Amino acid sequence: MIFDKAIKAAPDRFHVIELSEYTTWEIGGPSAAVMVNTARELTDTVKFISENSLPWVILGKGSNTLAPTEGWHGVVVLLRGELSDFSFKGSLLTAGGGAHLPSISGAACSKGLAGLVFAVGIPGTVGGAIFMNAGAYGRSISELVEEVSVLHPCGSIEYLTAEDCGFGYRSSRFQKDDSIVLNVVLRLSEKAGSSGELRREARGVLQLRRQKFPLHAPNAGSVFRRPDNGPPPGKLIEDCGLKGYRLGGAMVSAVHANFIENTGGATSSDVMQLIEFVVERVRKISGITLKREIRKLGERI
């Protein structure tokens, strides 16, 4: 099978998962996987994987990822334990790379700490948010970064400032190297007595997301990046008459055209063919070439 090499290399270390259960598109076949709970475990795991020349990838909540229906030949590394914990010290929030982004946003609101309300509905991890420089409603997580600690495959740990991270629109230096986000320190704003106000604001953000986005169906969030000095991808796609367009089990959402829904039984091939069709149609009609925000598992773009 596609993951045989990894399982044979360490049957006591790796187990088999179905990627459809670990991605928000609910698409994907079998893969070898390992759960790690500490930085030491992660270091040992990455060293072992590298020594055995196995492809690998860190997978958070799988909210920006298209996994292959036939399965993946590498090792999926899942951050758990202390690598998914978070804590507060004054206005500083320290979170592991595997921490759930909506959870830390909600906790910050409850403590009266402002700055993360925009992230309350983003279904990903802190590490994934740093990797993509996730954002919404005109805000990005890079604005809050005080420090990011990363693990390099060689085993060394490096501490980076926000400037060191090379943040851009939905981009960071981590998209171009193999370093792993271990911990992130975010600087929030203390607002005494404002926890109720922040929670109300967070509820408003969630309500707005429910109205604007197709949260009723499996999807991976925004499929395309906003073009430089161009209209939003959703408008470009809608103007091409593609809302509701289907290919196999994949459909351009009728709610928001920059989302592709799994209407039931969609394959990774269905999704990629639909993406390619949308890109070509938009290019032909508007002259603008859309670029993907979502990534195929293990891909660098």
Domain limits, the chain: 4-81, 85-210, 233-296
Rounded to the nearest integer, the mean pLDDT of the chain is: 94
Q: What is the pTM of this model?
A: 0.92
Domain spanning 4-81: which CATH class is it, in words?
alpha beta
Whether 146 is catalytic is no
Catalytic: which of 26, 41, 261, 293? 293
Question: What is residue 301's predicted lDDT score, i.e. its pLDDT?
Answer: 61
157-188 pLDDT per residue, tens: 999 999 999 999 999 999 988 899 999 999 99
Angle, helix 195-212 to helix 101-110, in steps of 10 degrees = 150
Nearest one of 102, 106, 134 to 221, comparing CA atoms: 134
Q: Please state which architecture CATH assigns to domain 85-210.
A: 2-Layer Sandwich (3.30)
222 as an active site residue: the answer is: yes
Catalytic residue among 170, 226, 253, 292: 170
CATH of domain 233-296: 3.90.78.10
Of the residues 179, 222, 253, 268, which is catalytic? 222
What's the CA dihedral at 109, 102, 189, 226 to 10 degrees? -130
**Binning pLDDT at 50, 70 and 90, where does residue 193 land?**
low
Tokens linked to 100: 């759930």
Domains 4-81 and 233-296 share a fold: no
Residues comprising the chain, all counted: 301
Q: Which residues pair with 15 in a beta bridge?
A: 33
Please say if 293 is a catalytic residue: yes
